[in-house]
Amino acid sequence: MASSCRRPEHMAPPDVFYNEEEAKKYSQNSRMIEIQTQMSERAVELLNLPEGQPSFLLDVGCGSGLSGDYLSEEGHYWVGIDISTAMLDVALDREVEGDLVLGDMGHGMPFRAGTFDGCISISALQWLCNADKKSHSPPKRLFTFFSTLYSSLARGSRAVFQLYPENSEQLELITTQAMKAGFSGGMVVDYPNSSKAKKFFLCLFAGMTGVLPKGLGSETSDRAVSNQVQYSGQRCRFKNMKGKSVKKGRDWILEKKERRRRQGREVRADTKYTGRQRRPHF
């Protein structure tokens, strides 16, 4: 991933790049399978799910279902969404246990509010930073994705994205849109001093504030850098990351309604009674 000309997202749109030939690698290449499994394991670890009970998870950019296999092994139920029919065909051939959905993450997540206990995504998020069509606006597509994802997650849950950011501007763009959509959180960098083992995980909290986990193999203790995005070894906090209050006050309700309007849903008009405490009926 060192040279920009080798980055898949610069070669073709994802639904074109992940054709039948490319998809086969994800069921036959043992090294690729091993790497995908390791990254899935780390993403689930960062989700910090309750021990000993199955969760219902979303796998964004699920591809051939390798990350889903790990979720199944851990006893979780899952739904995978991907833009590539060739990759989903491989997942079907492999008879993965999760439900599969064909969809473009930039169009938003087509799920009911509060459906999932968590979300993972392996090597998919950076594709949204590319404009593959004239109509594509990366900031808008990222915001549409994050705002609909936020809605589809249960409050208090997490979303963890393993990604290959191209540069610090891309990281800034991604995290800014995630925070605008209501998430708090930040970037966890594993093995920051290794060019090969270094991995980026965007760890987001839905409807709560949480302590950002430490990156593996990091010597940089707790000297987190605030108010900036660094493409470096330190794990970063980003500005404006305070979590949203989960108390259903007027501001919270108005914000939720506005988010739903942006998603194109029908929402009742705001009145002076919005968010008013109602007396209990006896």
136 pLDDT more than 50: yes
Distance (Å, rounded) from C-alpha 109 to C-alpha 103?
8
Q: Which residues contact 158 (CB under 8 A, 6 or more apart)?
A: 46, 47, 48, 118, 119, 185, 203, 204, 205, 206, 210
- What is the mean pLDDT of the segment spanning 57-63? 95
The architecture (CATH level 2) of 4-244 comes to 3-Layer(aba) Sandwich (3.40)
**pLDDT band at 42; cut points 50, 70, 90:** very high
81-106: b (≥16 Cβ within 10 Å) or e: bbbbebbbebbeeeebebebbeebbb
Residue 1 or residue 27, greater confidence: 27
Distance (Å, rounded) from C-alpha 256 to C-alpha 18?
36
Residue 130 or residue 5, greater confidence: 130
Q: pLDDT at position 147, please?
A: 97
Q: pLDDT at position 274, please?
A: 73
Q: At what angle do helices 85-93 and 20-28 cross, to 10 degrees?
A: 40
Full-model pTM: 0.70
Within 49-95, where are the H helices? 66-73, 85-93
107 pLDDT more than 60: yes
56 pLDDT more than 50: yes
- What is the mean pLDDT of the segment spanning 201-216? 85
Predicted confidence (pLDDT) per residue in 61-77, tens digit: 998 899 999 999 999 99
Amino acid occupying residue 175? T
**pLDDT band at 48; cut points 50, 70, 90:** very high
Distance (Å, rounded) from C-alpha 117 to C-alpha 205?
11
Q: Which residues contact 109 (CB under 8 A, 6 or more apart)?
A: 58, 60, 81, 103, 145, 148, 149, 151, 152
Q: pLDDT at position 6, please?
A: 55
Distance (Å, rounded) from C-alpha 9 to C-alpha 181?
24
Residue that the structure tokens 């330190």 belong to: 234
**pLDDT band at 2; cut points 50, 70, 90:** very low
- The bridge status of strand 199-205 relative to strand 184-190 is antiparallel
232 pLDDT more than 50: no
Residues forming CATH 3.40.50.150 domain(s) in the chain: 4-244
Q: pLDDT at position 94, please?
A: 84
159: tokens are 């979303």
Handedness of CA 193, 194, 199, 200 (dihedral sign): positive
Q: What is the mean pLDDT of the chain?
A: 78
**pLDDT band at 230; cut points 50, 70, 90:** very low
151 pLDDT more than 60: yes
